[in-house]
Structure 1
Amino acid sequence: MRIVVTGKKGQLAQSLLERAPLFEATVVAVGRPELDLADTRPVVDLLAAAAPDVIVSAAAYTVVDRAESEPALAHAVNGGGARMLAEAAAALGVPLIHISTDYVFDGSKPGPWTEEDTPAPVSVYGASKLAGEQAVLAASSGNIVVRIGWVYSPFGSNFAKTILRLAGERDVLRVVSDQTGGPSSALDIADGLLTMARNVCTAPDRADLRGVFHMAPPEPATWAEFAGEICAWLAAKRGRHVTVESITTADYPTAARRPANSCLDVRRLALRHGFRMAPWRTSLPPVLERLASIPI
């Protein structure tokens, strides 16, 4: 199985490259400058040269707050870029797995969001990602949209890495406790994506393997709980004791609104693709071990 993933320096691309041997897969990562989703030039020749069985669309404009002041760029990358990749995948006759976000929902639902719930993004970033979803699904009934939550990993910039850095500088961290979601290891997500890619390659006629899926750990957390677990690990493993103080969203104003509840219902993914993410408290320590071993 040969997979092309966009966003070659991103957390998901790096995780796919690391996990691919476990699935006897080959992953080719592409990205800027040869592939720039803000550029409208066709990319079908570039993708064709890599000879993919599946394309994973992981590149995106992900700076949530900056998107509020750069809406055109966010939509060009997350909407127009996704459309461009979907059209290229259709021309090549291969399925596209497109990575989307829990931020397509407004956060008002008291329980986990299902794939049947109507998206209603409250930020430019969320709206641009929804536009990408719609373009991908319109391009081919063989495509897949995967909504994921709060990604962390040993790679790139992410919340876990930031908390470790701040915990080395401060004795008290003030973290939002009224936003709930799914802290998700990019390595676990990579396992899920590789499982889905294998499934669609071995059963190309199964329509139930296509469409929209949610991927998240089985138990949610608040940002404060996530930070608290990181600091508890730091205390146990490094003897560094840091207090996490819970605050409200109103105490920490940002340019973009975040959904209060972005928990995702993952039953469809388990039923159709046979994949379940590990609990986030299980997946977090190995990532922290790796992060703590490199300069932050």
Structure 2
Amino acid sequence: MELRQLRYFVAVAEELHFGRAAKRLHISQPALSFDIRKLEQRMGVQLFQRNNKSVRLTQCGAALLGKCRNLLHSAADIQQMLQRYAEGKQGLIRLGFINSMLYRGLPQALQQFSRHYPDVAIALQEMGTQEQIQALERRQIDLACVNDAHYPASIAGDVLAAEPLCCCLPRQHPCAAQPAITLPMLQEQPFILFAPEVSPYYHHQILAQCAAAGFYPHIQHQARTWLSIIRMVGMGLGVALVPQGLQHLATEQVCYLPLPAPMPSTRLMLLHQQDEAESCVQLLRAALLAALPTPAEAAVERFAVDRHSH
């Protein structure tokens, strides 16, 4: 049986008049009578007793009426649910992110998105940049918040934020009181870098910056997250080059000094599959692109104000 036939049946059962039911359904009375007869033939029972003066339900018809109402209500719920999925108002998004996004406004951006789309579930997966690119290729995640990196042609990328790198030093470092620092001044310092397998892009970028300054850095320690690098600097284990957007972290243990122009820069990227078509994923993508650069920019402004006040 078809949902259309069930809707016709309910209309006749409630009106007990084929003319009024046809008017309510915006169809002709002969077409309605034909569909009701077709429904009775398919089910092998008589649903109505009718004559020239009246129409009434048979016991079979009365039994079917309640079931039909439930079925039509369920069908309407299903249609509404599917429409919400199609519009992106309901769904599941698997979002990969690097650790530093927790300090760059990601939690606040997700809270704001959830207020607008409470029926969209977001499953967070913390991973390194290369892990996210692989997971995105395998369609294990839908969006990836990563450090700048090389990614295959099947993946598209948007720039979340572009930030200069600055030098992160222990508070007790002899250069900490200076207004700025140059890379050659760090030539004898132990460096803390990303492990190359975690973020080869940054690892090699910093090596290249040091090489351009005339030296190869002494890599004393390696870490998997920017926060770990900053904390290790705070422990006096070495120096590091970090994005300016993170220079509000651990300021009691470390200080951040700008590098002279042209300063090396870094980018945060939001990656997705080129053929990504899910509406909820596109909505979150747009929300993150609109929201996430602000915290990093605000951190740079706070840093400039703090250094000027001191």
* TM-score between the two structures when normalised by the length of structure 2: 0.27
Larger-gyration structure (1/2): 2
- Scaled by the length of structure 1, the TM-score of the pair is 0.28
More strand per residue: 2
